[in-house]
Amino acid sequence: MRPRSRGSIKLASKDPRDEPLIDPNFLAVEEDMKDMREGLRRTIEIMEQPALRDYYMDSRLSPVADFNLGSDEDCDRWIRNSSHSAYHLSCTAAMGKVVDEHGRLYGASNVRVVDASAMPSMTSGNLNAPTLMMAEKFADHIRGRPYLEPTQADNGKSLWWENPSWQTEQR
């Protein structure tokens, strides 16, 4: 899932000790709610299959007694009451908009952003591995090391399989 809702982070004041004003703005775009409703319905459909039915606890999915899975309003209420962040926030200092391709902050000297906030767009999974990879690339640039060249197998093909529909399909 690639959420379309966008939050913001702003300085509260000129005092660097003041905490920033953070508004994650979760689920603000209707398409995000539609995706979440579909995910909720699909999850329940899977959990109601014979092999899993004995382990399915309907009460966990029903915070209100009159919960109706067919109702968008009930699903939205459940999603808003039950969803939480795993704090995998990213893209708040997006490459190209806030920093250059080496993590250098536009308009400031000797300041770099070397974390998930520099990602230009959301990943489809956990942020740890892509953040480490990006930080390694930035560190190589800081040290003056050349980037590694792409490696090919002896037959000229890539060493890993890549789904031709990777941009539109979930992994």
Active site members: 88
Question: At a CB cut-off of 8 Å and minimum separation 6, what does 107 contact?
Answer: none
Residue 116 burial by Cβ neighbours in a 10 Å radius (0-12, 13-18, 19+):
buried
Percent helix, strand, coil in the chain (nearest 5)? 35, 10, 60
Please give the backbone phi and psi of residue 95, each rounded to the nearest 5 degrees, phi first. -60, 135
